[in-house]
A and B are shown apart, each in its own frame.
Chain A
Amino acid sequence: MLNSLLNIRAARSVRIIVLFVAGLLWAAVMAWANTGTGPQIPNIFAPESTPAHEIYIVSLFVMGICIAIFVVVFGLLAYSVVKFRRRAGDDHREPPQVYGSNQLELAWTVIPVLIVVVLFLSTARVIHEIQDAPPPARAVRVTVVGHQFWWEFRYPQFGFVTANELHVPVSDTKNPTPTYLTLLSADVNHSFWVPRLAGKTDLIPNRANHMWIEPRETGLYLGQCAQYCGTQHAKMLLRVYVDTTAQFDLWVQKQRLPALRDPSVTEGRRIFDSTACVNCHTVNGTGARGRFGPDLTHLMSRDTLASGAAPNTRSYLRLWIRNPYTIKPGALMPAMNLEDEDLDRVTAYMLTLH
C-alpha cells in the first residue's frame, strides 16, 4: 500500500487530499490555541461545576468511542479507494461479483448493538445522577423567570428580586452549597445556558423546570439564552458571579435593602415616579412597583445593562433611557421621549441606585 502511495502519478489526488486535511488540522490547532482557552470562554470542555463536570466525563467517553469507529471505518474506506481503483492497464473485465456475506452482516450488526448497550447504560447513569439529585438543605434557591429579552432572578429565601446578573456562592466539596434553579417564563420559550456550569434547561411558559449548579471555583461565568425567543434573542446574555461565601452574604445583605434615598436626585425620582417608568419597573422603598421590566432597586450593583447588551456606565445608561433601540433594537422598552434635562435628571437618579 505504501508503494502505491509513493507512485506519484496514480496517487496525486490522494496526496492532495492528505495535504488539504493536514492544512485544515493545522489551522484548527492554531485557531484553538489562540481562542479556545481563557476564563471568559464559555467552553463546555472547561467545566467548573458538578453537572458540567459529569457531562464532560461522559462526553469524553462517547467521543472516544466515536473517534475509534471513525478511524476504523474511514481507514477501510480510504484503503478500498486506493487498493480497488481501476488501474491504467486494466483489461476491462468485471471483477468477481460478491453478493454478500452472512457472517459479515452478523458481525457488523452485533458489534454496533453492543456499543449501543454500553453507551446507553453509561448515559442513563449520568442522566439519573444529574436530573434526579435531591437538593440538600443548605442549597441556595433561585427562581429564574425568562422574559423577552432579559432574566429575572428571585431569591425567595432572602426576599429580594434582581435581574440579569446571577450571584451564587461557591460550593465546597466537604460542605456543598449548590444552587437550585426553578425555571419559569413570563412569555415565550427561553433556555438557560452557562456552559461551564451546567447543561441548558429550557424556560417554558406554563411549566416549571428545575436544574442545579454546584460551582467549584469563584469567578464570572458567561452564557446566554439558547432558545430563539424573538428579535433580541441574541442579546439576552447571562452573567453568573460565583462568589466566596463571605462575598455572597454581603451581596445578599445589600440586595435586601430598599433603594438608597439620595436627596440630590429628588427631581429625577419625581420624574421617574410620575411617568410611565413605574408601570414596568420596581424600585423598593418607592412607589414604583412595576413587574414587566427589570427590578432597578440596585441597578448600579450590576456591571452591564439590558441583559449584557451594554456596559453599565453613565453614557450608556443615558443612551438606553433616551432610546433603547440604539443599543438593542426590538427590546420591549419604548423610547421615553424625555427632554434632555429630564433625561439627565432621571439618569442621575438611576446612578444613585447602588
Chain B
Amino acid sequence: MSSSAVATSELALLRAHAGRPWVETLHEWVTTVDHKKLGLMYIGYALLFLLIGGIEAAIIRIQLAIPHNSFVSPQVFNRLFTMHGTTMIFFVAMPILFGFANYLVPLMIGARDMAFPRLNAWSFWTTALGGLTLYFSFVGGDGLYGAGSAPDVGWWAYAPLTSTAFSKGHSTDYWTIALLVSGFGSIGTAINIFTTILCKRCPGMKLGKMPLLAWLNLVMSGMVLLAISPLTAAQIMLMIDRYLGGHFFDTQAGGSAVIWMHFFWVFGHPEVYILIIPGFAFASEIIPVFSRKAIFGYPVMVGASVGIAFLSMSVWAHHLFTIGMPSYSNAFFVLTSMAVGVPTGIKIFNWLGTMWGGKIRFDTAMLFSIGFLVQFLIAGLTGIMLAVAPFDWQLNNSYFVVAHFHYVIVGGLLFTIFAAFYYWYPKMVGRMLGDTLGKWHFWLFLIGFHLTFDFMHVPGVLGMPRRIYTYEPGRGWEIWNLLVTVGAFFQALGVLCFVINLIKSYFRGAPAGNDPWDAWTLEWSTSSPPPAYNFATIPEVKSRRPLWDIKHPEDPDWKYE
C-alpha cells in the first residue's frame, strides 16, 4: 500500500471517530496496550508534573531571592525542595524518557509494538500511581502525631533523619511507597524495552545496524534493571525500621547511617546516567539530520555508551567524599569518576565530528541540540572538578553542586527533550510545532537557564550550602541569589511559550506529512501519526539509514558501512 493510500484510509478512520462519544475514547486510552498511546500518556503525565515541579522551584527561588525572607516557613520550604527533586527525577524525567522510548523504539526498529504490550500498560499505570501517591501526602500525610504532610527529608532521604524518632507521621512513608511502587513500573518498562530491542528488530537490522536511539535505550534499560533494586531494598529496610522494629539504619541502636548512603547512591549515580543516556539518544538522531551527515563514528559511539554504562556503576561514592572514608577509598572513586569522563568526552567529539563538514540547518530542534552540546560540555567539566575529592570537600553540598547537576539535567537533558519534542511532535500528531513560538521558547529559556545556573556556581564557591530556607546577609550571597531567581522567571516564560505551542499546533499547526525533516530512520517512512499497526508491511533494511538508501540509490550507506 502506498503511503498516501495509507494516509487517506487513516483520515477516513479519524473522520469516523469524530462523532464518537467521549466515554468511548476515554475507555480506549485507559485500556490501551498500544505503545504509541502509552508513550503519549507517559509524556503528558510527565509534562503535568514538570509544571508542578517548576512551580515548586519558583517558590523556592522567591524565598531565596533575598536573605531572611519569609515567603514560606522553613517547614514548607523543606517539603518543597524534597518534592521538587523527587518529582523532577521520578515523575518528570523517567516517565518522559520512557514515553519517548515507548513511542519511538518499535517504530525505529521496524516492529509493530513492544514485546510485552500488557506489561507496558501495567508499567505505565503503576508509575502513574506512584506519582499520585507522592502528591497525596500533601493532604494525607498526617499520622498519629499530626506531624504529616509532604516528605521533607530531601530526595535522598538520608537515615537516621527518616527514622520514626526524627520523622514523625507518615510523610516519609509517602516518599518510600511512592518510589517503591513507581520503581516496579520502571523495571517493567526496562524489561520491555530490553526484550523488544533484542528480539523484535526487523529483518536485516542486525544490532550493528540499528539506530543509536535503540542502542542507547538498550543500555539505559539494562542499567535500570541493575540500579533500581538497591533503592527498593533500602526502602523495604527503612519500612522495617520504621514499623517492624528493625534497626538497619537506626544509629541509636547500633545501625548504620552510612549503609543507607551507599545503598542510595549505588542506585542514585547510575540513575542520573539512566536519565542522560536517552538524552544522548535524541542528540544522536537529531544532530545528524540537521547537519545532513551520518553520525560520526557509530561503532565508537556504541562502545562509548556501553562503556559509560559499566563505568557509571563504579563511581557512586563520589557523593560520599565527605563522610570520612579512608584516603585510598577516596582515591579509587576519584579515578573511576574521572575515567567515566573519557567515553563521555568521546561522544561530544563525535557529535562535533558529525556537524563538521555538514550543512547545518538551525531549526528549533537543532538550536536546542547545539545548546545541549555547549551546556553538557560545561556540566561535564564542573563534574571533573567535583571528582577531585579535596575540591569536593569544599564544594560538596554547596550551591556549586546544585548548579552542576542542574546544568546536566536542565542544560543537558531538558534541552535534548525539547529538541525531541520539536523533532518528533510532527510524527506523533501530524502537525508541525510553530516556528516563531519555538524560537521564542528557545531564546527565553536559554537566557533564563544561563542567568540562573551560570551564576548559581558563585554562592557555592562563597560557602553557601544547599537545602537552606534562608541565609545570612553579609556573606556575599545576596546579588547572586537575586540573579538566579530572575533567571527562573525567564525559564518559566519559555516553558509557557512551549506549552502554548504544543496546544496551538495540535489544532492549527501546518500538516507535517510523513517526513518533514528529510530524515533517514524508519519512523519517517510511515504516516504522521502512524497507523495502529505502524507499518503495512514489515520493512527490510540493509544499512543504518534505510531511508537514505531509498533516497540515494546511487550512493547507499550499505556500500560504506
Contact = CB atoms under 8 A, between A and B. Distances in A.
Interface of A: 13, 20, 24, 27-28, 31-32, 34-36, 38, 40-45, 52, 54-55, 58-59, 62-63, 66, 69-70, 73-74, 76-77, 80-81, 84-86, 90, 94-101, 104-105, 108-109, 112-113, 116, 119-120, 123-124, 126-128, 130-132, 148, 183, 187-189, 191, 193, 195, 198-202, 204-207, 209-210, 222-235, 237, 308, 329-330
Interface residues of B, number: 105
23 contacts: A13-B362, A20-B447, A34-B479, A35-B462, A35-B479, A44-B462, A62-B384, A66-B381, A86-B360, A86-B361, A95-B292, A96-B357, A98-B296, A105-B346, A120-B331, A148-B166, A188-B166, A191-B322, A195-B462, A207-B258, A227-B158, A228-B153, A234-B470
A113 B342 CA distance: 7
DSSP class of A's interface residues: helix, strand, loop or mixed?
mixed
Contacts of B395: 44
A127 B463 contact: no
Contacts of B158: 188-189, 227-228
A206 B159 CA distance: 12
Contacts of B385: 59, 62-63, 66
B294 A97 contact: yes
Given A116-B338, A132-B327, A232-B74, A45 B461 contact: yes
Given A100-B298, A126-B390, A205 B160 contact: yes
B327 A127 contact: yes
Given A66-B385, A132-B327, A195-B394, A229 B338 contact: no
Contacts of B475: 40-42, 222
Interface string B282-320: 000000000111101111100000000000000000000
Interface stretch (B30-38, B40-48, B113-121, B372-380): B372-380
A84 B356 contact: yes
Interface in B338-355: 338-339, 341-342, 345-346, 348-349, 352-353, 355
Contacts of A101: 296-297, 353
A20 B450 CA distance: 10
A63 B457 CA distance: 13
Interface in B453-475: 454-455, 458, 461-463, 465-472, 474-475
B334 interface: yes
Nearest to A112: B342
A248 B213 CA distance: 65
Given A81-B370, A97-B294, A35 B478 contact: yes
B3 interface: no
A267 to B, nearest CB: 36
Contact of A24 (B355, B454, B458): B454
Interface in B462-499: 462-463, 465-472, 474-480, 483
Contact of A31 (B292, B299, B335, B483): B483
Given A28-B455, A188-B160, A199-B393, A127 B297 contact: no
Contact of B322 (A27, A34, A104, A201): A201
Contacts of B472: 222, 237, 308
B480 to A, nearest CB: 7
B391 interface: yes
B463 A100 contact: no
Max count, chain B CB within 10 A of own CB: residue among A20, A230, A330: A230
Contact of A119 (B322, B338, B557): B338
Nearest to A86: B359
B161 interface: yes
Given A55-B390, A108-B346, A123-B387, 17 more contacts: A24-B450, A35-B478, A36-B462, A36-B476, A38-B476, A58-B388, A58-B391, A62-B388, A69-B381, A70-B378, A80-B355, A94-B359, A98-B353, A100-B353, A189-B160, A207-B324, A225-B465
Interface stretch (B131-139, B249-257, B267-275, B527-535): B249-257
Given A187-B166, A191-B397, A329 B74 contact: yes
Contact of A206 (B256, B477, B555, B557): B256
Contacts of A189: 158, 160-161, 257
Interface in B146-192: 152-154, 158, 160-161, 166
A207 B258 CA distance: 9
B145 interface: no
Contacts of A123: 331, 334, 387-390
A41 B465 contact: no
B552 interface: yes
B22 interface: no
A98 B293 contact: yes
Contacts of A109: 342, 346
Contact of A80 (B323, B356, B382): B356
Nearest to B334: A123
B161 A230 contact: yes
A2 B305 CA distance: 37
A85 B356 CA distance: 10
Given A41-B462, A195-B463, A330-B75, A206 B255 contact: yes
B454 A200 contact: no
B358 interface: yes
A72 to B, nearest CB: 10
Given A35-B479, A69-B381, A85 B360 contact: yes
Contacts of B451: 24
A324 B479 CA distance: 30
Given A38-B476, A70-B381, A123-B390, A234 B74 contact: yes
Contact of B254 (A13, A84, A206, A226): A206
A35 B463 CA distance: 13
B398 interface: yes
Contacts of B388: 58-59, 62, 119, 123
